[in-house]
Amino acid sequence: MAREPVMNVAELSAFLDEVFPQVRGQMIIEAVGPMRARVRMPVDESRLRPGGTVSGPSMFTLADCAYYVATLAMIGREALTVTTSLTINFLAKPPSADLVCEARILRLGRALSVGEATIWSDGRADGPVAHAVVTYAIPPRPAP
Amino acid sequence: MAREPVMNVAELSAFLDEVFPQVRGQMIIEAVGPMRARVRMPVDESRLRPGGTVSGPSMFTLADCAYYVATLAMIGREALTVTTSLTINFLAKPPSADLVCEARILRLGRALSVGEATIWSDGRADGPVAHAVVTYAIPPRPAP
Amino acid sequence: MAREPVMNVAELSAFLDEVFPQVRGQMIIEAVGPMRARVRMPVDESRLRPGGTVSGPSMFTLADCAYYVATLAMIGREALTVTTSLTINFLAKPPSADLVCEARILRLGRALSVGEATIWSDGRADGPVAHAVVTYAIPPRPAP
Amino acid sequence: MAREPVMNVAELSAFLDEVFPQVRGQMIIEAVGPMRARVRMPVDESRLRPGGTVSGPSMFTLADCAYYVATLAMIGREALTVTTSLTINFLAKPPSADLVCEARILRLGRALSVGEATIWSDGRADGPVAHAVVTYAIPPRPAP
């Protein structure tokens, strides 16, 4: 199994815009590497909750998206790769600042990709604000 | 500890509109009962993913909201009650139809509310489309 | 897909003794039904933690086993059906009494069985002591 | 809050033997560091399942114990620190070899410790065999 990415940042960004036009501009792919990806979510008013903190659904969306990007980077264009489960722990209330998510694949099998996505508030040094464990199901593909 | 709801559907709906104006009209509280609530999410284009299925973040938002409503119904107006963790399993691709979520509290302590939220596609009889386990932290309150 | 059990309590008990001899006598299958099973774990000294409460690993083992039984009851003898993930919430400290677990399948697909297992302390009426969400992978089988 | 461990390997090992005599010899604390611990579980026959793989409950117990050690190392002797939730993903079937678990605290608050525990099969280089996210509740302590 290839352990180097088969898609780069530009290819992944174009693919994401194509299959999820509704998140265009909301998720910026910053880097991909072997079994890894980093995605930034710019935070504006629409993402905030009472008290000026970023909403839980926004963090869920970021973790889910970053993990999707990490997986696609390794397996290639498979739009129908879908989340089967996600466990998220909210660790600290993020202030009103961009969120940055590091996704990391722990196990990439033929049918499942399992790993984690850790979310940081940009510029904050005292640890992550959320952590997710994600499982994606990969559709069956013809043998290579 | 009171085991009957202390807020009714009208009071909860008004409170939700007040603290989360951004979801106004997107979540309809249908019923509350002891340790339970039912919330409907009307599904339109903006909620759909490629293939005509409802997006994962939409289901996360519904499960999270319904569980918040079930908890507030029991403890009263506590806007700062926040999600600390949520585990969601996506069980089947929901077609383009309203989603209905049944939230049920398993344990309501002084500091934590732990329970589940099961999501059904309206009109579909072959089991739920998603299931979540949710933990909410309840802010400290003066002793009664 | 059959929605009635294909194995009964006696058959499941014999199968469990055969494939997991190390838990013989520790897990008593009390009932199976469509997409459901109930398993009892007698509690003795070896299961207790400081303070006289049942240990977390014991509750994990019970939830895992009860869900395995519920799945096997529906799909038949498949010893290599394995847990792929389990999320457990400990809700209350169980006193020194038997534990009873109700497992319920939410979605039974060809490759995965996803559902929940709720653990009660026998004789205690104030809600469950633990709750788990379980995913089992079912090995590929020849088409019927 | 202190970010250096307040207990060392010898102190933690003695404490574990004292409060959990039933796991004596089954868990070897190898190292502790800031917000981290490494614990080894020697694997013998009693830990194996059909097919020669280590059982799920054994891996649960190791993850839970390693995370307990990482937390105690930071907060000191608090036997009543208890697991409130644990999500474990089984990533690969471990062969019959020792398991090594790396526990890492993501957020250490006054009331909760949240983090992860990753389990490796000793000598195997192709990634972890299991991964857990763990939450421990810390009992209230007098202000320092």
- Chain B residue nearest residue C89, CA to CA: B114
pLDDT > 50? residue A1:
no
Q: What is the mean pLDDT of residues C87-109?
A: 95
Residue C48 has pLDDT above 80, yes or no: no
| Mean pLDDT estimate for chain D | 91
CA distances from C134 to B29, B141, C117, D100, D143 (A): 29, 35, 7, 24, 40
Residue A79 has pLDDT above 90, yes or no: no
pLDDT band for position D143 (cuts 50, 70, 90): low
What is the average per-residue pLDDT within A31-45? 94
Chain C residues in contact with B127 by the CB 8 A cut-off are 106-107
Q: pTM for the full model?
A: 0.94
Q: In A, which residues are within 8 Å of D137 by CB distance?
A: none
Task: Show which of residues 3-62 on chain B sit within 8 Å of chain A, judged by CB atoms.
Answer: 19-20, 22, 46, 49-51, 56-57, 60-61
What is the arithmetic mean of pLDDT over D17-22?
A: 83
Going from N- to C-terminal start, the domains of chain D cover 9-137
DSSP string of chain D? ---S-SS-HHHHHHHHHHH-GGGTTT-EEEEEETTEEEEEE---GGGEETTTEEPHHHHHHHHHHHHHHHHHHHH---TT-EEEEEEEEE-S---SS-EEEEEEEEEE-SSEEEEEEEEEETT--S--SEEEEEEEEPPP----
Contact A39, A12 (CB under 8 A): no
Phi, psi of D83, deg, nearest 5: -65, 130
Closest in B87, B92, B128 to C87, CB measured:
B87
Residue C120 host element (H or E): strand C112-121
Closest residue in A to B81 (Cα–Cα) = A50
% pLDDT > 70, chain A? 95
Q: Look at residues B41, B113, C63, D96 and name the one whose alpha carbon lies nearest to residue C55.
A: C63
Scanning every residue of chain C, which has its alpha carbon at the shortest distance from the alpha carbon of B109? Answer: C91
Q: Which of A16-20, D126-130, D131-135 has the lowest average pLDDT?
A: A16-20
Q: Which chains touch C (3 or more CB pairs under 8 A)?
A: A, B, D
Contact list in D for residue A131 (CB cut-off 8 A) is 106, 114, 116, 133
- Is the pLDDT at A77 greater than 50? The verdict is yes
Find the range with the poorest average confidence among C20-24, C31-35, D5-9, D121-125: C20-24
Over residues B98-122, the mean pLDDT reads: 96
Distance between B135 CA and the closest CA of chain D, angstroms: 10
According to CATH, the superfamily of the domain at B9-137 is Hotdog Thioesterase (3.10.129.10)
Which stretch of B46-50, C11-15, C35-39, C71-75 has the lowest confidence by average pLDDT?
Answer: B46-50
The model's pLDDT over B41-96, given as tens digits with 9 standing for 90+, comes to 998 877 777 677 888 999 999 999 999 999 999 999 987 889 999 999 999 999 88
Contacts of D127 in chain A (CB under 8 A): 106-107
From the CA of A19, how many Å to the nearest CA of chain B?
7
The confidence score (pLDDT) of residue A142 equals 63
Determine the average pLDDT of the residues in D30-45.
94
Q: How many residues does chain B have?
A: 144
Q: Give kind and range of the element (H or E) at residue B61.
A: helix B56-75
- Selecting from B19, B60, B82 the residue whose C-beta is nearest the C-beta of A57 gives B60
Are A89 and B84 in contact (CB < 8 Å)?
A: yes
Q: Stretch D92-116: mean pLDDT, rounded?
A: 94
Q: Within an 8 Å CB–CB cutoff, is residue D89 touching chain C?
A: yes
